[in-house]
Every structure is written in C-alpha cells, then in structure tokens.
C-alpha cells in the first residue's frame, strides 16, 4: 500500500523538523514487527513516534466523520504510544482535531473506556475494540504537531493547548 503525495509531504516536513531538533529520523519504520510508524525519531535519550493524520474520511463514514476520526485517533495512539517516549499526531495546520480526553490522562471511569471501545469497534472491528479495553490505560498522546505546509513549519501543541481540544464539540 502506497502513501499519498500529500501524506508523504507531511511526513517530510515533520521529519525535517525533528532532524533540526537533533533527532536521528526514519520514515515508515517498522516498530513492532507489524506496524510502521510514519516518522520515528531517536536522539539517544528518548524516542518519538509521529503519525500523520490528513483528515481523510472514507465515503462510507462521511455522515459520522468526527466519530470516525476520533476512533482513528484512539487506534493510532494504542498502536504506537507505548512504543516510544513520546507520541504525536501530525495534522495539516488547517485541520482542527478533536482529541479524546481518554488519551491524555488515565481515567477510572469504566463507562468512558467502554464507550471508547465501542466506538473503535464500530469503525475498526472487534480486535481494536478489545485492544482499546486492554491498552487505553497505558497509552498516551503526548501532543499534536500542526504542520504548515506552505511555510514548512511545525507547531507543537501539548498540555493546556492540547486539553482545550478535548472539549471541541459543535
């Protein structure tokens, strides 16, 4: 399966940004024998995995685009966050992502975990629903990287800036 030119451009900008920060960078690196991280970076002290999210929604899910992207964010976090010191999702700067709060800090609410698992199962199947139940407590999203394609720049959102996106509802 190939990567679109748009996706590849976002990877390139993120990889260049991390290289400038002193990291050794790989693109499409196999991280666990199965999954390939869009961008993998290592500086000898910590590792960073970045997954690119273009905001594409398959036509079959267009009526529930926000839910689909929310579930995809959970799946990406579960796949990669526990394999690195830090995990980010990179989006074009014009895409406003809603971040599931369950990915920022652990919750004691079984209902919240179950709801996340059900939503993931709806879009990605039972396997990922089960993985959500098992691993959502240990896998955290460190932040978002907003990629300005025209200027080839990256703005990192963490902490309070990231928390503000958990309440994004229309």
Q: Please, which residues have CB within 8 angstroms of residue 64's CB and are 6 or more apart in sequence? A: none
Residue 71 located in a structural domain: yes
Model confidence over 3-51: pLDDT tens digits?
789 999 999 999 999 999 999 999 999 999 889 999 999 999 999 999 9
45, burial (CB in 10 Å: exposed 0-12, middle 13-18, buried 19+): exposed
Residue 111 located in a structural domain: yes
Structural domain containing residue 106: 5-163
Where are the alpha helices (H) located in 21-109, listed in sequence order? 65-80
Q: Which residue has the tokens 């406003």?
A: 96
Model confidence over 83-130: pLDDT tens digits?
999 999 999 999 888 788 888 877 777 888 888 999 999 999 999 999
State which H helix or E strand residue 10 sits in. helix 5-20
Residue 128 located in a structural domain: yes
Residue 168 located in a structural domain: no
Specify the CATH number for the domain of residue 66. 3.40.1350
Q: What is the pTM of this model?
A: 0.90
Distances (CA, A) of 40 to 14, 70, 89, 148, 165: 10, 23, 12, 20, 25
Residue 170 located in a structural domain: no
Residue 169 located in a structural domain: no
For the cut 50, the answer to whether the pLDDT of residue 170 exceeds it is no
């Amino acid at each position: 399966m190939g990567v679109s030119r748009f996706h590849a451009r976002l990877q390139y900008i993120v990889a260049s940004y991390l290289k400038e920060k002193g990291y050794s960078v790989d693109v499409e690196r196999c991280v666990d024998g199965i999954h390939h991280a869009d961008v993998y970076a290592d500086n000898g002290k910590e590792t960073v995995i970045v997954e690119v999210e273009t905001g594409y929604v398959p036509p079959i899910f267009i009526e529930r685009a926000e839910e689909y992207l929310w579930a995809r964010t959970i799946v990406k976090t579960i796949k990669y966050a526990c394999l690195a010191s830090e995990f980010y999702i990179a989006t074009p700067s014009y895409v406003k992502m809603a971040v599931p709060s369950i990915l920022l800090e652990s919750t004691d609410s079984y209902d919240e975990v179950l709801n996340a698992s059900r939503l993931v199962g709806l879009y990605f199947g039972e396997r990922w629903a089960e993985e959500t139940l098992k691993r959502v407590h240990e896998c955290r999203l460190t932040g978002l990287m907003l990629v300005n394609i025209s200027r080839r720049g990256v703005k990192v959102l963490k902490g309070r800036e990231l928390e503000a996106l958990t309440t994004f509802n229309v």
